[in-house]
């Protein structure tokens, strides 16, 4: 399969906006000059956009377990997720893999198997698939294992999550507890008891969190704080070398991050729908205030692509700036300096999008045409 192309006639999103011209791909990289044996590709009446970089996508969980207790082979699930991601323009994707104390779908044995399955087949996938390792702060017995995984795979990143503190007081008839119980394969009463048992170890959490953050920083891995609710949460994260704020829940937490020049990730489904599904900070309002710099697919792979166009359609941002939220900025946030733009020397990860229909006609990954709908 060739990875050298001459893409003609499209509007190319460059460093200074859109320009009509010719984009050269030489051996999988953007080239400033033509090369030998390039194949022509007609991109007339189309935008040529950098491939989407998704820092947090847990849509694969519903492919692994589409109904409570119904599981499919992990390699099959990743291959299906790969097809969905590529068809929605995601060329680099971080699967948000939870490392938790929960039984059921997020049991540590399942996380181990998911980790192994992806790395055993990643070379055969079209999307550059990696992990966002979502360590739950009460998963106290798995710190060494998470650090071992980060050591083994240099491209993976870490996210520090604490859902236990918010969940330990849920009543047995709470809808949220019932959802958790279904995921765990327990009754609501059993799930409530499990949460209470874990909560009893809360005094161990700060030291364990300090430890895993320090060790991730020593490895040079990007680490993020999840669900910052207050400026103090972000300040504590900063002390722990958590350089990105992932899904801050309040305006004040996002303001604290941006005042320090830090990247802020919010959910693309939030931006696409125009509001948060759980009453947290509205991504559109945060973007208007320049408090959100990155959109992630979260639980819905199509969201990044369509959210960028919604922001442009509604005059929130011009398309080139909206697209940076799903390409340039996420790549920069995790040190992926080889992608995210269509500059010379970068990986040729790009989309060709029909201007009239906004249909993704073609996806290139490292210059390989992995999707063709033209």
Question: Both 22 and 114 in a single domain?
Answer: no
Domain assignment present for residue 318? The answer is no
**Contact (Cβ atoms closer than 8 angstroms) between residue 180 and residue 167:** yes
44 and 78 belong to one structural domain = no
Are 126 and 41 within one domain? Answer: no
Same domain, 19 and 83: no
pLDDT band at 237 (very low <50, low <70, confident <90, very high): very high
Residues 85 and 165 placed together within one structural domain of the fold: yes
Task: Write 337-342 long-range contacts (CB < 8 A, 24+).
Answer: 339/50, 339/51, 339/53, 339/91, 339/92, 340/50, 340/53, 341/14, 341/15, 341/50, 342/12, 342/13, 342/14, 342/23, 342/30, 342/48, 342/50
Look at residues 185, 213, 241 and tell me which one is the last residue of a structural domain.
213
Does 129 lie in the same domain as 38? no
How many domains does the structure of the chain reveal?
2
CB atoms within 10 A of CB 178: 15
List pLDDT tens digits, range 299-318: 999 999 999 999 999 999 99
In a domain, 244, yes or no: no
Q: Which residues have CB under 8 Å from 187's CB, separation 6+? A: 181
Do residue 99 and residue 133 come from a single domain? Answer: yes
**Same domain as 178, residue 34:** no
Asked whether residue 29 is domain-assigned, the answer is: yes
Say whether both 160 and 30 belong to one domain.
no
Residue 314 lies in a domain: no
Q: 358 falls in which pLDDT band (50, 70, 90)?
A: very high
Residue 321 lies in a domain: no
Q: Do residues 43 and 60 both lie within one domain? A: no
Among 179, 213, 247, which residue terminates a domain? 213
Query: pLDDT by residue (tens digit) across 10-46?
Result: 999 998 999 999 999 999 999 999 988 899 999 999 9
Domain identity same for 79 and 106:
yes
41 located within any domain: yes
Structural domain includes residue 130? yes
In a domain, 129, yes or no: yes
Domain finish residue from 213, 248, 263: 213
**Does residue 57 sit in the same domain as residue 204?**
yes
pLDDT tens-digit readout, 139-197: 999 999 999 999 998 899 999 999 999 888 899 889 999 999 999 999 999 999 999 99
pLDDT higher than threshold 80 for residue 105: yes
Compute the average pLDDT of residues 348-365: 98
Query: Can you give the pTM of this predicted structure?
Result: 0.96
Give the list of residues 6+ apart from residue 157 with CB closer than 8 angstroms, or none. Answer: 55, 94, 130, 131, 132, 133, 221, 222, 223, 224, 334
Structural domain boundaries enclosing 122:
52-213
CATH number of the domain residue 34 falls in: 2.30.40.10
Cα separations in angstroms, 293 against 255, 258, 310: 12, 9, 16
């Amino acid at each position: 399969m060739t990875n050298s192309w001459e893409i003609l006639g499209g509007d190319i999103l460059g460093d200074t906006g859109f320009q009509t011209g010719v984009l050269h791909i030489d051996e999988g990289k953007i080239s400033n000059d033509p090369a030998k044996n390039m194949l022509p590709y007609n991109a007339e009446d189309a935008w040529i956009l950098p491939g989407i970089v998704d820092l947090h996508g847990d849509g694969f969980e519903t492919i692994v377990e589409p109904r409570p207790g119904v599981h499919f082979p992990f390699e099959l699930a990743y291959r299906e997720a790969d097809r969905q991601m590529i068809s929605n323009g995601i060329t680099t994707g971080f699967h948000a893999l939870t490392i938790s104390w929960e039984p059921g779908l997020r049991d540590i044995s399942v996380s181990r198997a998911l980790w192994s399955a992806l790395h055993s087949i990643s070379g055969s996938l079209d999307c550059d698939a990696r992990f966002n390792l979502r360590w739950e702060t009460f998963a106290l017995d798995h710190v060494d294992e998470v650090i071992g995984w980060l050591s083994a795979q240099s491209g993976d990143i870490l996210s520090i999550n604490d859902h236990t503190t918010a969940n330990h007081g849920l009543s047995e008839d709470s809808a949220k507890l019932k959802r958790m119980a279904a995921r765990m394969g327990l009754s609501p009463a059993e799930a409530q008891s499990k949460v209470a048992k874990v909560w009893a170890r809360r005094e161990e959490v700060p030291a364990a969190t300090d430890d895993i953050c320090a060790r991730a920083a020593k490895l040079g891995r990007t680490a993020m704080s999840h669900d910052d609710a207050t400026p103090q949460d972000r300040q504590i994260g900063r002390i722990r070398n958590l350089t990105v704020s992932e899904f801050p829940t309040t305006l004040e937490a996002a303001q604290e991050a941006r005042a320090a020049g830090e990247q802020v990730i919010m959910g693309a489904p939030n931006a696409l729908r125009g509001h948060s599904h759980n009453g947290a900070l509205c991504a559109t309002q945060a973007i208007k205030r320049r408090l959100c710099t990155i959109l992630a697919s979260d639980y819905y792979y199509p969201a990044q692509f369509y959210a960028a166009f919604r922001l442009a359609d509604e005059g929130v941002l011009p398309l080139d700036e909206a697209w940076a939220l799903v390409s340039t900025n996420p790549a920069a946030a995790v040190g992926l300096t080889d992608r995210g733009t269509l500059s010379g020397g970068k990986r040729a990860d790009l989309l060709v999008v029909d201007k009239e229909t906004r249909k993704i006609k073609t996806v290139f990954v490292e210059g390989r045409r992995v999707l063709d709908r033209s």
